[in-house]
């Protein structure tokens, strides 16, 4: 029982996740140990708990503490460290084989999508400008074909020509005086 307890205690002490439930596990361990002792006593001595049973348990535990405890705890630590390093190595392998390539692919995909988005934005701007120019030209042609607009232009043209004729006449008069 001492050996099992030391191995159990080493494993739960080395694990970050098991530390917070260690009191519950301790109670469960001692209940299971007591049940195991009572089962062995029941099958070997017809369930009679006598003083020599407790004395033999104490002697066995003391001999274990004096002789094998250090070796058992050291080997349990070695096994736990070995298993931790194997788990870390497997984690790194899985991370290197799956997560890193996926991250790289996502970065490349994001960069490509960003480039495509930029190209589409530029293309949209140019298409908008072309459509806007076409609409202006079409709209201006349509407006210029309206009869009342043509009348306005005819009047404006006549006024325009009269204005330039007046300016020209005024400039000639100034020029001749000089």
- The confidence score (pLDDT) of residue 53 equals 81
Query: Average pLDDT in the 71-96 region?
Result: 92
Return d(Cα 107, Cα 122) in angstroms, integer.
23
- The confidence score (pLDDT) of residue 100 equals 94
Tokens, residue 46: 């017809």
| pLDDT tens profile 21-50 | 888 888 888 899 889 888 888 888 877 878
pTM above 0.85, yes or no: no
| pLDDT tens profile 113-164 | 999 999 999 999 899 889 888 888 888 777 777 888 778 877 877 787 888 8
Q: Is the pLDDT of residue 87 over 70?
A: yes
Q: Is the pLDDT of residue 58 over 80?
A: yes
Query: Average pLDDT in the 58-71 region?
Result: 90
DSSP letter, residue 47: T
Return d(Cα 75, Cα 15) in angstroms, integer.
16
Enumerate the domain spans of the chain: 2-67, 148-178
Give backbone dihedrals phi and psi of 128, rounded to 5 degrees, phi first: -60, -40
């Amino acid at each position: 029982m001492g050996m099992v307890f030391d191995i159990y205690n080493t494993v739960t002490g080395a694990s970050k996740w098991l530390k917070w439930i260690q009191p519950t596990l301790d109670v469960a361990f001692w209940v299971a140990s007591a049940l195991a002792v009572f089962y062995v006593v029941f099958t070997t001595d017809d369930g009679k708990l006598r003083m020599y049973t407790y004395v033999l348990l104490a002697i066995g535990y003391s001999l274990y503490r004096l002789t094998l405890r250090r070796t058992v705890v050291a080997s349990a630590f070695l096994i736990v460290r070995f298993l931790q390093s194997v788990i870390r190595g497997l984690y790194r392998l899985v991370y290197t084989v799956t997560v890193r390539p996926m991250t790289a692919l996502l970065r490349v995909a994001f960069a490509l999508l960003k480039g495509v988005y930029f190209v589409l934005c530029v293309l949209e701007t140019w298409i908008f400008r072309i459509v806007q120019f076409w609409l202006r030209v079409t709209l201006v042609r349509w407006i210029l074909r309206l009869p009342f607009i043509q009348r306005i232009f005819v009047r404006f043209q006549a006024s325009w020509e009269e204005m330039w004729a007046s300016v020209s006449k005024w400039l000639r008069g100034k020029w001749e005086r000089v």
